[in-house]
Structure 1
Amino acid sequence: MEYLLIVFVNVITPMLILLAIGVVLQIKFTFNVKALGNILTYCLIPAAVFMNLYHTVINVKVLLDVLFFVVLFSTSLIVIGHLFSKMLRLNRQQSAVMKNSIVLINSGNYGLPVSQLVFHANPLGVSIQIVLIVYQNLLTYSYGLYNLVSATQSGAAILKQFIKMPIIHALWLGAFLNLANIQLPLFVELPIEHLSNAFIAIALITLGAQLAQIKVKALWNRLIFLSAFGRLILSPTVALLLIMLLKIDGVTAQSLWIASSFPTSRNSSTLALEYDIEAELAAQIVLFTTVISSFTVGLVIYLSSIIFV
Structure 2
Amino acid sequence: MAYLGMIFFKIVAPILVLLVLGGLLQRKFTFNLKALSQLITYCFMPAAVFMNLYETTISLTILGQVAVFITLFIGSQMLLGRFIAQSMKLSKEEAAVFKNSVVLINSGNYGIPVAQMIFATQPIGVAIQVILVIFQNITTYTYGLYNLISSTRSGMAIVKDFIKMPIVHALLIGIVMNIYHIPLPVFLEIPINYVAQGFVAVALITLGAQLSQLSFSAMFNKTVMVSCFTRLVLGPAMALLLIFLLGLQGVVAKSLFIASAFPTSRNSSSLALEYDIDADTSAQTVLFSTIVSCITVTIVIYMAEILF
TM-score, scaled relative to structure 2: 0.79
- Aligned AA (1:115): G
1:19 paired to 2:23: no
The question of whether the paired residues in 2 share the 8 Å contact of 1:232 and 1:263 is answered with yes
1:113 paired to 2:109: yes
Structure 1 residues without counterparts, runs of 5 or longer: none
State the Cα RMSD in Å: 3.4
Question: Residues 145-178 of structure 1: CA distance to partner in whole angstroms, max 9, x if unpaired?
Answer: 44x34xx411x33233223222222223223333
Mapped to 1, the partners of 2:187 and 2:90 lie a distance apart of: 55
Deviation at 1:42, TM superposition (A): 1.9
Question: Residues 247-301 of structure 1: CA distance to partner in whole angstroms, max 9, x if unpaired?
Answer: 4456655554444334345666677778887665555444433432344345545
Mapped to 2, the partners of 1:273 and 1:53 lie a distance apart of: 25
Bigger shift: residues 4-13 or 269-278:
269-278
Q: In the comparison of the two structures, how many residue pairs are matched?
A: 300
The question of whether the paired residues in 2 share the 8 Å contact of 1:98 and 1:227 is answered with no
Alpha carbons of 1:236 and 1:134: their partners in 2 closer, same or farther (altered >3 Å)? same
Deviation at 1:129, TM superposition (A): 0.5
The question of whether the paired residues in 2 share the 8 Å contact of 1:258 and 1:297 is answered with yes
Alignment of 1:173-252 (within 5 A): 173-248=173-248
- Aligned AA (2:102): V
1:131 paired to 2:135: yes
Q: Percent identity?
A: 44
Structure 2 residues without counterparts, runs of 5 or longer: none
1:62 paired to 2:62: yes
Mapped to 2, the partners of 1:187 and 1:218 lie a distance apart of: 47
- Aligned AA (1:27): R
- Aligned AA (1:205): I
Mapped to 1, the partners of 2:272 and 2:236 lie a distance apart of: 25
State the partner residue of 1:153: 154
- Aligned AA (1:128): L
Mapped to 2, the partners of 1:266 and 1:178 lie a distance apart of: 26
Alpha carbons of 1:20 and 1:257: their partners in 2 closer, same or farther (altered >3 Å)? farther
Equivalent residue of 2:11, what SS? Answer: helix
Question: Residues 76-122 of structure 1: CA distance to partner in whole angstroms, max 9, x if unpaired?
Answer: 2233334435655x354587257425534254xxx422234335675
Equivalent residue of 2:242, what SS? Answer: helix
Deviation at 1:144, TM superposition (A): 5.0
State the partner residue of 2:79: 79
Equivalent residue of 1:118, what SS? Answer: helix
Find the partner of 1:140 among 132, 141, 144: 144
State the partner residue of 1:100: 99
Mapped to 2, the partners of 1:24 and 1:209 lie a distance apart of: 7
Mapped to 1, the partners of 2:171 and 2:273 lie a distance apart of: 28
Deviation at 1:229, TM superposition (A): 0.9
Mapped to 2, the partners of 1:36 and 1:276 lie a distance apart of: 13
